[in-house]
Amino acid sequence: MSPDVLRNQQVDPSTKVVIIGGGVMGAATASFLGARFGIRATVLERDASYARASSALSVCAIRQQFSTEINIRISQQSLAFYRDIGRQLAVGDDHPSIGLVEPGYLYLATDAGAHVLAENQALQAQCNASVALLSPAELLVRFPWLSVDQIALGSLGLSTATSGEGWFDGYSALQAFRHHAIAQGARFLEAEAVDFDVRDSGVQSVITAQGERVAADAVLIAAGAWSSPIAAKLGFDLPVRARKRDVFSLQAPGPLPGCPLVIDPSGFWFRPDGDAGQFLCGSPPRGDDVDDAPLDQVDRGLFDEWLWPRLAVRVPQFDELRVTGSWAGYYEYNTFDQNGLVGRLPGTDNVFVAAGFSGHGLQQAPAVGLGMAELIATGGYQSLDLSPLHVERLSNNAPLLERNII
């Protein structure tokens, strides 16, 4: 067990915690610091409109179909929270809703990848995540609109008391955490952190672009895709980069009954967006996955030349769809192993990080936000041991490899 687990320290509510990044991870941590420990955090967010924030531009899905136990456990804890968010983050008579639906995830595999789905399902079952392996014939019974050409196996997440998969409104989740944190006494300031006042190995204050010094007993870097340059100010190379992902809104001739979020073996995905034949779809870029590509340049050629032909093969009805819109957002992409980096920043006494979730941030925010609040306030984890995600795995060259990255 990690030395950061269940370490008992007296919590001082006057502790000055500065959180850099007001997206869902920073807002969730601020919410839990206030609700659980009486600590009123100061959150620095450079763009109060959240126009480029991953929290606002994500397709906002949640799943338990991971290949590592820690990701499964995090998602289960976060799902339980999101199912109860109206009570958990209530402020007076305001009970937030995020529109969570749970049609599941459906991973499809060819002969070459079928063993991976089977191995993953065995681990998921050990964690009480309900996932069904389906043959091509069974897939057609459940989803008659699906073509199973070259498909050997499907893996479908089911909704039970301990597991469930689907999607929700991520911006509503962000605002719910933000409003709840403010109700607990947190301050959200529109300010950009640009440097630190460091004495010995501890940060004394965070310096903003306006020259203001914000006193800090503890600092959390939760700036998503922009966490790396902040950590660099402390001499740490955090391998988190802004990687653009394009999303396309589609109108099909009609809905697909019971459609989950479908992940094709070739890498693309699609899911319903309402119940009138609207869908969202996307895929990783087909060329180089470059850093900081501009968000205002959606690659329409990706859809016309690569995505659409494959969509129409997998779902023949999609041969007649049309694009009704598109947008792009950033993954906070961890180039080391595509999993979150959490915990104390090596070489510092009072700086913590929660970044690099590579597309998992919104779905993991409740569990990770609570864990970071516990670690900052008490020195250890109480609810879920997040030490498998600790930053030290970088220096140890011990990647936590996850097979199920979308």
Question: Which residue segments constitute the domains of the chain, with CATH numbers given?
Answer: 17-96+169-239+336-395 (3.50.50.60), 105-162+243-328 (3.30.9.10)
Query: Per-residue confidence at 3, pLDDT binned at 50, 70, 90?
Result: very low
Spatial CA neighbour of 97 closest among 7, 202, 182, 175: 175
Per-residue pLDDT reduced to its tens digit, 22-71: 999 999 999 999 999 999 999 999 998 888 888 888 899 999 999 999 99
H-type alpha helices, 254-331: 300-301, 308-314
Residue 7 is predicted with a pLDDT of 42
The values of phi and psi at residue 385, to 5°, are -75, 110
- Residues 104 and 154 sit within 8 Å (Cβ to Cβ): no
Asked if pLDDT for residue 5 goes beyond 60, the answer is no
Strand order in the sheet with 341-344: 187-190, 42-45, 17-20, 218-221, 351-355, 341-344
**What are the pLDDT digits (tens) for 297-316?**
899 999 999 999 999 999 99
CA–CA gap between residue 37 and residue 79 (Å, rounded): 23
pLDDT computed for residue 9 by the predictor: 53
Tell me the per-residue pLDDT of 86-144, one tens digit each, with 9 for 90 and over: 999 999 999 999 999 999 999 999 999 999 999 999 999 999 999 999 999 999 999 99
Residue 258 zone, left/alpha/beta (φ > 0; ψ -120 to 50; rest): left
Taking only Cα atoms into account, the Rg of the chain, rounded to an integer number of angstroms, comes to 21
> What is the arithmetic mean of pLDDT over 208-213?
96
CA distance 70 to 124: 11
Supply the pLDDT for residue 10. 59
Please compute the mean of the pLDDT values over residues 185-202 and round it to a whole number: 95
Arithmetic mean of pLDDT, 179-187: 98
Confidence band (pLDDT; 50, 70, 90) for 406? low
DSSP at 316:
G
Please, which residues have CB within 8 angstroms of residue 387's CB and are 6 or more apart in sequence?
1, 2, 4, 5, 343, 381
> What would the mean pLDDT of 160-185 be, rounded to a whole number?
96
DSSP β-ladder status, 61-62 and 202-208: unpaired
Query: Rounded to whole angstroms, what are the CA distances from 27 to 131, 175, 282, 362?
Result: 31, 8, 27, 11
pLDDT of residue 386 exceeding 90, the answer is yes
The whole-number pLDDT of residue 84 equals: 98
